[in-house]
Structure 1
């Protein structure tokens, strides 16, 4: 994983008001934890930091220059405004080159499984131990042409050199099943409702039948009226 170089400024103002002023200046408040040191509060340039996180993925590794000192920082938590979608705050963990860290790496499924199958991603991430400077952006899984019934376990993943799987190798990651038709889903739903003792509302069908019956009665009455006039 390539590192992005960002110049950070030491932050001395804290609180909501200070954070708002930082964001209005198109900057991002952040904090760096780790290695037994006191947390380092910094301010980062908004656009370049956003692009660095976009390129680096969920576990972006940044090379922050703080007061002339370079510090490798692994992204651990990013707070995003749910409406405006801008970054509000970032938590980093300080790391060293060659140091191994524990990370959750996203799984990326590629390809098309066999026709009439459904690909289910049971676990969107897998936990790995990897060198801080060699964290994979994602783990790729190809399902091209795989038939229904195929299951891909964590122990079958192709991990980058130097990475160690931390979850149970039997953990199900991808499950390929037969595609269920709408008719089969409806039948399963009716069966589940019957087992639960739920009765479906048949009022619409009944109303439809009554309406047809009413129309028939009206026709008969009209016919009888015509006959009496004759």
Structure 2
């Protein structure tokens, strides 16, 4: 894990349509729930809250302080404006340090540019970008990493089974398919053909548009919120 994320929140009295007044003043409304708590209405200055959201995502614990009381939370929901994508509301889920919690974490490919496949002019495309895991809050990783350096030909691929989980971390679904493809290797010509057919650019090809070597479509990349 990275540096501990701390956030001071104030109690909020305004509710409903009245919170529009807070937003005009640069204050974001929020709520904390869970862990045998009655929902707590909270608020924080936009810039401070936006940084915490950016740093924590939905997988890093946020240590909040309200009126001197400290709680461990995970961000569960972020409501944004549809056009400017400014944060409108944030929901926090309070947890215990001893709780095993579920969180969605990114999958990061490491060793970019170092694989034999890339050196041979082939293209490595990521098929899955996030996966749900479970762990105690202190054990939640910022990301799951898997190296692409062993990829050499279009017959090679990376699967969930190639990911080494940190101590104390498990996949949320104990029966998840470990053969689920995380990354495939493609010939540039195959990507170009797929993009020409779709009227796009070659460097914007997605794995779902290119046939996998077994004749089936490669898994589509998951959408991050």
Q: Report the TM-score range of the alignment, normalised by the length of the smaller protein.
A: 0.7 to 0.9
Return the alpha-carbon distance in structure 2 between the equivalents of residues 86 and 103 of structure 1.
Answer: 23
| Larger Rg over CA atoms | 1
What are the ranges of 5 or more consecutive residues in structure 2 without an aligned counterpart? Answer: 199-225
Query: CA distance change for structure 1 residues 76 and 40 in 2, over 3 Å: closer, same or farther?
Result: same
Return the alpha-carbon distance in structure 2 between the equivalents of residues 186 and 129 of structure 1.
Answer: 37
- Relative to the length of structure 2, the TM-score reads 0.74
Helix, strand or coil for the counterpart of 1:116?
A: coil
How many aligned residue pairs are there?
A: 188
Shift of 1:187: 10
Helix, strand or coil for the counterpart of 2:98?
A: coil
Runs of 4+ in 1 over 3 A off after TM superposition: 181-189
What are the ranges of 5 or more consecutive residues in structure 1 without an aligned counterpart? Answer: 190-230
Helix, strand or coil for the counterpart of 1:180?
A: helix
Helix, strand or coil for the counterpart of 1:144?
A: coil
Cross-structure match for 2:203: none
Choose from 144, 147, 156 the match for 1:150. Answer: 156
- Relative to the length of structure 1, the TM-score reads 0.72
Return the alpha-carbon distance in structure 2 between the equivalents of residues 183 and 121 of structure 1.
Answer: 17
Deviation string, structure 1 residues 59-89 (Cα, Å, up to 9, x no partner):
2321111222111110111122232232111
Q: Following superposition of structure 1 onto structure 2, how do residues 1-230 of structure 1 map, counting pairs within 5 Å?
A: 1=1, 2-16=3-17, 18-110=18-110, 111-112=112-113, 113=115, 114=117, 115-144=120-149, 146-147=151-152, 148-166=154-172, 167-181=176-190
Return the alpha-carbon distance in structure 2 between the equivalents of residues 84 and 154 of structure 1.
Answer: 35
Give 1 or 2: higher helix fraction. 1
Return the alpha-carbon distance in structure 1 between the equivalents of residues 90 and 75 of structure 2.
Answer: 7
Helix, strand or coil for the counterpart of 1:168?
A: coil
Helix, strand or coil for the counterpart of 1:160?
A: coil
